[in-house]
Structure 1
């Protein structure tokens, strides 16, 4: 076909790459400029991305980029936000539920036990020990001996208001200083100490009369501890017939208790811990094995 601009002139030969296969020439048809400009733009964008965002692996880690963006950190932040929101909902449920309702709901119970264990370590372990086994003057919370009652509800009350804490709802009950205040004479103190030690099968004060001690007990101690010395949770009076002794069971320790009395203080946590944490602590302590 003739060139339309130059009639009679043969058409220009198409530009080829110079490659030829069996008579088939490879034409050299350049890409459109818009396509090339798009390619160049993506190359420039890639270099910019490498500089701005994490992109290149290193021996230990990777380049963080000038923007410091981390998709991992973003995801972890979102996960933490969801965790906090779920925890807040769980704490609200704990706060609104009773101890009995918490113990009856498996999901709430698991949350309460976890919350209570953490709260115990932060607030209670200093006195009762990290394993809650107590020490002299601080009760073992794993046994079944409870001065103020061992049900979950009674434990909650003790935690909330304390004992001799000054709170208006706190447990109140004093062990008089029978010897120091002159209520009993020295021989009477030793006799009653020997008597109560005999109730749990322990040796008493050398030379002291347990028969006399029984008389002294009936006249001075039975009002709180009961005639059978089984104790009275309403007054915080311990059971004197079991092998558990809060202030020690050696004769001299029991004599010291009768002589000087005992007025241990359990802090009130009502204004220190939120309701959900107090209930969680009650459930956790009750679960340690000694709860009734």
Structure 2
């Protein structure tokens, strides 16, 4: 049946082609047919699209996606590529896994490989807490300076990364625990204020002697066993020095009061089971090379 609306559509005087009836800013749209080449191309793309979804992984099903008749998997392809790269690197990683970190550092070729690999491992697994530049943050140590809770030698850094800090699943984890002097009732509120003022005065000039002087006595009675008589800290116990201006949780009175009252108990995972010996040694050597590593 003919479309009677066609009888009422205007015919363009110049081209003689009937218009569609659409007009914008006095510009009328001509009802020209689509070019054959365009139609054939469009049909071909439709056929290609349908064939592609049959050949390749595509349609979502109830429990999994349709795998495609060709059985292609980009995940398998990537896995195979990674395995190939690891196989090529094994000439280095196998030796790294077997050698001590100091021996690796003495081998220029291995050390160059380890530092490059360690940097990549650090950005993947460690930067989330310590930052891309390893500068740390509140509760996460800066790995660029020479202030180390558990030691900054290559072996000490390796042990910390391999076994973690207060990671209960690893029997060799680094472990220390500061008492919550305030909430556990080990110190009175006044004593907390006194010892906080004493510690604050170790790195600040505006401490109140009326609080700091009795705070020195509180410190001697409760804190020297871990932090030392000179408050310089003890790496064997993971106790920080209180005499510098490097603070893991902050060194103002409020932060110190929180620390003494409630304690701190940061946790670092044990990485050796997850990453393996070679990767842990590489990242340990990378961290040691950042500038604050200890030689002895």
Structure 1 stretches lacking a partner, 5+ long? 1-78
The aligned runs of 1:1-292 (5 Å cut-off) are 84-166=86-168, 167-201=170-204, 203-204=206-207, 209-292=211-294
Residues 59-103 of structure 1 deviation map (CA, whole Å, 9 limit, x = unaligned): xxxxxxxxxxxxxxxxxxxx9998654312111111111101110
Which structure is larger by alpha-carbon Rg, 1 or 2?
1
CA 1:80/1:241 → structure 2, altered by over 3 Å: closer, same or farther?
Answer: closer
Q: CA deviation at 1:203?
A: 3.8
> Which string of whole-angstrom CA distances, capped at 9 and with x for unpartnered residues, describes residues 116-142 of structure 1?
000000100000000000000000000
CA RMSD in angstroms comes to 1.8
> Separation in 1 of the partners of 2:101 and 2:179?
34
Q: What secondary structure, in the 3-state scheme, does the structure 2 residue paired with 1:272 have?
A: helix
Q: d(CA) in 1 for partners of 2:124 and 2:87?
A: 23
Inter-partner Cα distance in structure 2 for 1:85 and 1:235: 40
Moved more, 195-204 or 167-176: 195-204
Q: Retained in 2: the 8 A contact 1:190–1:208?
A: no
Cα deviation, residue 169, structure 1: 0.4
1:245–1:203 Cα change, 3 Å: farther
Distance in 2 of aligned mates of 1:80 and 1:240: 46
The TM-score with structure 1 as length reference comes to: 0.70
What's the CA shift for 1:275? Answer: 0.5
Unaligned runs of 5+ in 2: 1-80
Question: Within 2, Cα distance between the matches of 1:263 and 1:90?
Answer: 37
Secondary structure at 1:184 match in 2: coil
Report the counterpart of residue 50 of structure 2 in structure 1. none
Distance 1:249 1:169, change over 3 A: same
Deviations 1:233-285 (A, max 9, x none): 11110000011010001110001100000111111112111100000011000
- Contact kept, 8 Å, 1:156 with 1:282, in 2: the verdict is yes
What CA distance in whole angstroms lies between the structure 2 residues aligned with 1:176 and 1:82? 50
Counterpart CA distance in 1 for 2:231 and 2:222 is: 12
Aligned residues: 213
- Relative to structure 1, the CA distance from residue 83 to residue 127 in structure 2 (aligned partners, 3 Å threshold; closer, same or farther) is closer
Whole-angstrom CA distance in 2 between matches of 1:85 and 1:229: 50
Does structure 2 retain, via aligned residues, the 8 Å contact 1:193–1:255? yes
